[in-house]
Structure 1
């Protein structure tokens, strides 16, 4: 049974989410504030975190940043703020999904399932590849361990960032449209925007490129999308 850590100060919303997800065979652990959320994060070891942006004792965005620095567990931000800038901010600091209130329980469950599928995918050993060097920089993507190595040092990524890099790595030179990348990292039935892909690409470039403004590996194909060159 997958464990969900729900950090939400509104008791009525928390109860509704807990009841619905419990019926979907999830084990839900509820925290009413950020402090309790951090305690449960360490004691429970959740498979997915659902985190409200507005908490009584701290900013949910900052808590997301803190949790992301400690773990790669999928994080879904929940908020009444629907502005694009808020969604982008959450993605930039490491969130994997962003759901605006009010939302349907079916959509919440579908997005939770999508996050879990991505985080528990079975990797084929054949997908591992030797490191490649370009511009004096060695890059390796270990599909089985879900890790990117730069100069033999692991690079921290979100699930979405890694999924994009995985598809690039397995198909060097292939041009992916933003829509294709969206479908691969979110699932066809989950609502996201093309701006999400741009944010993840920007973050990946900062992590693997010598000069993110003049990328040598993750290239923009104007009018189409992106491709990865070895």
Structure 2
């Protein structure tokens, strides 16, 4: 049984989410407190986190960043805020996807299933992959730990960032459109826009490039998308 951790201070919405997801077959843990969420995460080990970024005790964006520092668990932000910058800030903080309230429960369920499916698919594929997959002289992925290493040092990545790097490293030199990257990361049943992909690429460049403003590895192909150079 997959585990969902809900961080939502609105009692009505929180109860509704808990009831619906429980009926869908998930084990559900919920808290209304951002500070309590960090303590719960230490022992609950969820398969996905649903995070409201408007919380009474802490900034949801800051909490998202703290959750990401402690875990690579997929994070789905649910929020009344619909501004593009709110989405961008959440992605910068480590969120994997963003869903605006009000939303369809069927859409929520599809997003959760897609994100968990992707995670467990990767776990099943570990046995078919070597533990360390070299990509370039200074960059490689560890599939067992779902970790990115740069110059021998582990670099934390979000769920989506790891998926993008895995795709790039498997196909060096291939040009990917933003739409292709969206489909590879999310699947066809989960929405994310071009801007989100650009944010993930920007974050990856900061993590693997010596100078993110003059990238050597993740190149922009103007008018098309991005490609990874196997230097």
Q: How does 1:5-24 map to 2 (within 5 A)?
A: 5-24=5-24
The answer as to whether partners of 2:141 and 2:147 remain within 8 angstroms in 1 is: yes
Task: Return the alpha-carbon distance in structure 2 between the equivalents of residues 156 and 166 of structure 1.
Answer: 14
Task: Return the alpha-carbon distance in structure 2 between the equivalents of residues 149 and 172 of structure 1.
Answer: 17
User: Which runs of 5 or more structure 2 residues have no equivalent in the other structure?
Assistant: none
Alpha-carbon displacement from aligned partner over 1:92-116 (angstroms, at most 9, x marks no partner): 1100111100001111111111111
Structure 1 stretches of 4+ with a deviation exceeding 6 A read none
User: Which runs of 5 or more structure 1 residues have no equivalent in the other structure?
Assistant: none
Q: Which residue of 1 aligns with 2:134?
A: 130
Superposed displacement of residue 38, structure 1 = 2.0
The answer as to whether partners of 1:8 and 1:14 remain within 8 angstroms in 2 is: yes
Q: Which residue of 2 aligns with 1:186?
A: 186
Superposed displacement of residue 219, structure 1 = 0.5
SS in 2 for 1:132: coil
Superposed displacement of residue 126, structure 1 = 5.3
Task: Return the alpha-carbon distance in structure 1 between the equivalents of residues 77 and 118 of structure 2.
Answer: 17
The answer as to whether partners of 2:47 and 2:74 remain within 8 angstroms in 1 is: yes
Alpha-carbon displacement from aligned partner over 1:187-222 (angstroms, at most 9, x marks no partner): 112111100000000000000001111111101111
Superposed displacement of residue 131, structure 1 = 5.0
Distance 1:145 1:42, change over 3 A: closer
After TM superposition, the structure 1 stretch with the greater mean CA deviation from structure 2, 87-96 or 183-192, is: 183-192
The answer as to whether partners of 2:14 and 2:30 remain within 8 angstroms in 1 is: yes
Task: Return the alpha-carbon distance in structure 1 between the equivalents of residues 144 and 224 of structure 2.
Answer: 30
Distance 1:148 1:20, change over 3 A: same
Task: Return the alpha-carbon distance in structure 1 between the equivalents of residues 136 and 225 of structure 2.
Answer: 23
Superposed displacement of residue 160, structure 1 = 0.3
1:83 equivalent in alignment to 2:83: yes
Q: How does 1:151-162 map to 2 (within 5 A)?
A: 151-162=151-162
Task: Return the alpha-carbon distance in structure 2 between the equivalents of residues 145 and 30 of structure 1.
Answer: 27
1:214 equivalent in alignment to 2:194: no
Task: Return the alpha-carbon distance in structure 1 between the equivalents of residues 212 and 35 of structure 2.
Answer: 36
The answer as to whether partners of 1:148 and 1:154 remain within 8 angstroms in 2 is: yes
1:148 equivalent in alignment to 2:148: yes
Superposed displacement of residue 186, structure 1 = 1.0
Alpha-carbon displacement from aligned partner over 1:149-173 (angstroms, at most 9, x marks no partner): 1111111000000100000000111
SS in 2 for 1:50: strand
Q: Which residue of 2 aligns with 1:114?
A: 114
User: For this pair of structures, how many residues does the alignment match?
Assistant: 226
Alpha-carbon displacement from aligned partner over 1:9-40 (angstroms, at most 9, x marks no partner): 11110111111111111011110111222222
